[in-house]
Amino acid sequence: MIFSIIIFIITLLVLVLIHELGHFLVAKKFNIKVLEFGFGIPPRAWGKKFGETIFSLNWLPFGGFVKLLGEDEVDRKILENHRSFAAQEVFRRILVVVAGVLMNLLFAWVLFYAVLASQGFKFQIDLRFDHKFFLTDQQVETVVLVGSVAKDSPAESAGIKMGDRIIAINGEEISGEGELVNKTKSLAGQEIKITLSDPQKQNLKDVTVTPRINPPEGQGPLGISFGQFRVATLEYRSLLSKLLLGPIHSWNLIAYSGKVFGQLINQSILEKSFTPVSHSVAGPVGITNLANSILTSTDKPFIPYINFVAILSLNLAVINLLPIPALDGGRLFFLLVEALTRRRVHAEIERWVHAVGLALLLALTIFITFSDIQKILF
């Protein structure tokens, strides 16, 4: 677990640095003075000045920031300084704000291309409802995946791990959860051969295991929990889809995830409960736990983890583009209002809006963190 935490912290650092590097490079391109390049949210834990910019590490490890001269200032002298952010034409300020999102998108596109190219331009996704993916051939099938493995169980002794896909028992293909339960119960006490693979039905392997006749309470004969899922295999075959693989695959994930999240919100409204949404949202603790599962549940975690990092980078881009105060999307909203009305929103008003937004985001992060801890413990 400690190793996974270290890997995830490094991952988070890379994603934040890539995002903030976008703001930094475009600001430098326009000769805007960068006061600070920070990882995490203040108060500051460490900082050192290189040239005119302070590079800092801050105590709250949620994101990062680039502080520009004149970004939230109302002082006329600073506003009129030719190197201040506020003194730039509106289109330049828009480019500085969206640069972080673009960097995260580009990083996600590169990683997705590497992942899908290594898998023959195929990708599997859990299908909660019918959905037509853009520029892909798709095939839907039912799969049975191992959810968890009990300690000291026959499954653990046989080397069965979380995330393994159960293909067959004694050479007979398993088509669903009910068939798996019935077969393991009927063959209890006998040595059986189980054919497993990764979720993409690659890297097949056979293990031998003897299901227990009288398993402990709460456990089955094998000592595993499992789930039955409808899985869509997306295949990018056309030349166009391969050339634009990163953007097209990103769009497919965003469109489908948005549809799923909308369904969860609707379910929460109907049930008058926040539970459906909270169970599908994760904060730093939940994401770290997911990273640990990916790194420890398979003998070959590299490609699954790279895919996980690509999805994180894509999510970071999308969330930052939403018109939420204190995020890039919130700043972009004010700039678009200025571009359309040709009137600048008063800097003091914008500063207070972002300050309130930041406080609410921190409160939400704390709430989600407690929710993640409860899900892990209970």
Segment 14-47, tens digit of pLDDT: 999 999 999 999 999 999 999 999 988 888 999 9
- Residues 114 and 244 reside in one and the same domain: yes
229 with 277, same domain: the answer is: no
76 in the same domain as 33: yes
| Per-residue pLDDT reduced to its tens digit, 254-306 | 999 999 888 888 888 887 777 766 677 777 788 888 888 888 877 788 999 99
Shortest CA distance to 46 belongs to which of 292, 359, 168, 54? 54
Query: How much is the pLDDT for 121?
Result: 95
Domain end residue (candidates: 182, 199, 233): 233
More confident residue, 8 or 106: 106
What pLDDT, in 10s, does the model give residues 118-134?
A: 999 999 888 888 899 99
* CA pseudo-torsion sign 31, 36, 40, 43: negative
Residue where one domain finishes, among candidates 201, 233, 265: 233
What mean pLDDT is predicted for residues 147-169?
89
Place of tokens 């209970």: 378
Same domain, 99 and 24: yes
Q: What is the CATH number of the domain that holds 145?
A: 2.30.42.10
The pTM for the full model equals 0.83
If you average pLDDT over residues 184-196, what whole number do you get?
92
Are residue 158 and residue 252 in the same domain, yes or no? Answer: no
Q: Does 9 lie in the same domain as 117?
A: yes
Q: Predicted confidence band at 94 (pLDDT cuts at 50, 70, 90)?
A: very high
Q: What pLDDT score does 54 carry? A: 96
* pLDDT on residue 263: 87
Residue that terminates a domain, selected from 233, 256, 274? 233
Task: Please tell me whether residues 167 and 209 are part of one structural domain.
Answer: yes
Q: What is the pLDDT of residues 303-353, one digit of tens each?
A: 999 999 999 999 999 999 999 998 999 999 999 999 999 998 887 888 899
Please tell me whether residues 104 and 202 are part of one structural domain.
no
- Let me know whether 367 and 246 are in one domain: yes
pLDDT: is 206 or 264 the higher one? 206
For residue 43, whether the previous peptide bond is cis, meaning omega lies within 30 degrees of 0, is yes
Question: Do 162 and 24 reside in the same domain of the chain?
Answer: no
In a domain, 284, yes or no: yes
Query: Quick one: average pLDDT of 67-81?
Result: 75
Residue 199: give the domain boundaries: 138-233
Question: Residue 378's pLDDT is what?
Answer: 63
- Residue 56 shares a structural domain with residue 84: yes
Residue 131 domain flag? no
* pLDDT at residue number 73: 64
